[in-house]
Amino acid sequence: MEQIISGVAKFQKDVFPDKKADFQKLAGGQSPEVLFITCSDSRVDPSLVTQTQPGELFICRNAGNVVPPRTNQTGGMTASIEFAVAGLGVSHIVVCGHTDCGAVKGAIAPEKLDEMPHVREWLGHCSAATAVVKERRGEISHEHLDEVTQENVLLQLQHLRTHPSVAAKLANGRLTLHGWVYNIGSGEVLCFNEESGQFEVMDERYRKFMDQSLNAVANGDAV
């Protein structure tokens, strides 16, 4: 805790003054382009991985980067998604899983969660991902962790499509969904390609955008 408190002091003394104008502008409102849904895992830092600044990502985090399907019951994720899409008008939603995910481990072996009943119930939103892998492999175990992690990302994208605000923006082409898996140990990000039906390394999945970024850097332009 001491490190966190000293970090705040350093931010106020050394960081904020240099970016004061940016923060004063943000104090009047936000207009992020991306809703970034990821896990609460302490090893995952969305702004660090994407190299984004305050105001650029609307971030939602929970155990397992879960998106509950739309129901008549209001929840924090449901309200946040609706606000980001219908209120802020984001044009992209990223669901980002990660390697060595404790939530996915729990979804694979829910019998080990008897002392955490709320976690077990929450991870019921991942059960279809484990079912897919079990059907494909004939069994399910820890060795299938990476595969279930990818299937869980795809499942949560399906859940997103059940939310009316998301479905409406998808229908008129004003919203794009992205499925990612971040590798903590290597820094690699795999991205789902709907055309191939596979997770691909980022520079393959987004080659057009990567080429544009590289050209901008070569020309000395801001990316």
**Residue 220: what pLDDT?**
62
Q: What are phi and psi of 103, to 5 degrees?
A: -65, -40
Under the banding of pLDDT at 50, 70 and 90, the label for residue 216 is low
Domain ranges of the chain: 32-187
In this structure, whether the domain defined by 32-187 belongs to CATH 3.40.190.10 is answered with no
**Residue 15: what pLDDT?**
93
Q: Which residue has the higher pLDDT, 207 or 106?
A: 106
> 69-112 pLDDT, tens per residue?
998 888 999 999 999 999 999 999 999 999 999 999 999 999 99
User: Rounded mean pLDDT of the chain?
Assistant: 93
Under the banding of pLDDT at 50, 70 and 90, the label for residue 223 is very low
- Mean pLDDT along residues 212-216: 60
Under the banding of pLDDT at 50, 70 and 90, the label for residue 209 is low
